[in-house]
Amino acid sequence: MERSAWEPHSCEGERQSRRIRYLIAADLIDEPGATVIEVGGFPNSVVDFLDKSRRVIAFDPYTPADYIERVSKTAAGKDMAFMFSSRPISQAIEEIDNIGAYNVVWLGLDISADIHSTQVYRAELKGMLQIMGNAKACVIELPQYVPSALTWKLVLDCLHPQILRDVKLDLSEDPVANEFFVRDGRSQRRVIVFNAKRPFSGEVHSGLIDQCASDLMDVRNKQAGTTADGANRLYRYWASELPARGGKIIDGLERFAEVGKESKGCLTFGPYLRLASGNYAFEIIYRSWGDMERTPDRWDVCVGVSNVIAAGDLPANDARLSTARGHFTLSSDHSLMPVEIRTHFAGAGDLCIRQIVIHQL
């Protein structure tokens, strides 16, 4: 039996559930004579899923030689030009300046790999926005992962994308989720096809890029066990980074508890920081549905196993983004005990926790 035009070439390490991500969007980007730019992709390649396109330009700094050889042969068999570059996205702009119209495929939107400075983050984000902003259509995949969510938020703020297709996938039961240690939120995938409604401007959008670069560096520092701003003892946590006893993650950043679907009680807890003795302030950024008369949601500060040293309300605010502020003092007895800023769902109105910020006074 002959291979279907859309049936991907099999290679070691692939899984059908991973390849289906390409099939979701292939019909929207495979145009007669089209150029497709792919960022990442290994061990799969968009080449396996194209039939009408005539050129693919691939960017990936970590792709092995045998993969490049395999994809090159597949492209040649389809009379398709294939070019590969290991250069970072910030430098890729030079290679695609004069290629004409193109579509973009970027499955697993995450520019964080091997970046160690805010300056490099800024350059890569700018390059990403330039590539996406000039594309006819973009296909991206978002794992439920804070760096990807922050990057997508920047795309939303800068390019105001027109969504052409939006599909959610749950890959948590795929054996490959265990194989590659992504059985957590990264197994929850969202494949989005869009085009930019607003052109990218490095000057107009510089502030948004700076903020996203700072946020991404902050996340990377936490993953490495350091703080984003060690001199000022500032700690930022998106709700999706915190442990939880319920609710669902929204857009990779917020945690949402819905009346009738979630039990009353603790919603988020952690982050189990071990802090020196002294005075601290914190902010909880949240939204709460309902009016001021309803039973409020709550917060508390817990030190050690069950020692609550401060508590307060999260007043209902008609779903407006609000900030609850509080203070606590750590005595020498509590020094270096794990500290939690916990939120509690009252069940009287929906509650969405966005971010918790802690800093030493």
Q: How far apart are CA 209 and CA 87, in angstroms?
A: 21
Q: What is the mean pLDDT of residues 300-317?
A: 93
Both tokens of 355, joined, read 């971010």
Q: How far apart are CA 315 and CA 357, in angstroms?
A: 18
Q: Which of 152-156, 185-189, 311-315 has the least mean pLDDT?
A: 185-189
Integer Cα distance of 75 and 47 in angstroms: 6
For residue 175, name the pLDDT band (cuts at 50, 70, 90).
low
- Segment among 28-37, 92-101, 183-192 with least mean pLDDT: 183-192
| Domains present along the chain, CATH in parentheses | 16-211 (3.40.50.150), 227-360 (2.60.120.260)
pLDDT at 1: 29
CA-only gyration radius of the chain, Å: 23
Q: How far apart are CA 223 and CA 243, in angstroms?
A: 15
Q: Determine the pLDDT at residue 5.
A: 33
Segment 243-264 shows an average pLDDT of 92
- pLDDT for 57 equals 94
What is the structure's pLDDT at 11?
38
pTM of the predicted structure, to 2 decimals: 0.80
354: tokens are 């966005």
Give the model confidence (pLDDT) of 104-156 as tens digits: 999 988 887 778 899 999 999 999 999 999 999 999 998 888 999 999 999 99
Contact 51, 70 (CB under 8 A): no
Task: Give the range with max mean pLDDT: 39-43, 209-213, 291-295.
Answer: 209-213
Confidence band for 7, pLDDT divided at 50, 70 and 90: very low
SS3 assignment for the chain:
CCCCCCCCCCCCCCCHHHHHHHHHHHHHHCCCCCEEEEECCCCCCHHHHCCCCCEEEEECCCCCHHHHHHHHHHHHHCCCEEEEECCCHHHHHHHHCCCCCCEEEEECCCCCCCCCCHHHHHHHHHHHHHHHHCCCCEEEEEECCHHHHHHHHHHHHHHCCEEEEEEEEECCCCHHHHHCCCCCHHHEEEEEEEECCCCCCCCCCHHHHHHHHHHHHHHHHHHCCCCCECCCCEEEEEHHHCCECCCEEECCCEEEECCCCCCCEEEECCEEEECCCEEEEEEEEEEECCCCCCCCEEEEEEECCCEEEEEEEECCCCCCCEEEEEEEEECCCCCCCEEEEEEEECCCCCEEEEEEEEEEC
Express each pLDDT in 10-43 by its tens digit: 333 445 666 788 999 999 999 999 999 999 888 8
User: 72 versus 91: which is more confidently predicted?
Assistant: 72
Lowest mean pLDDT, pick from 197-206, 334-343, 347-356: 197-206
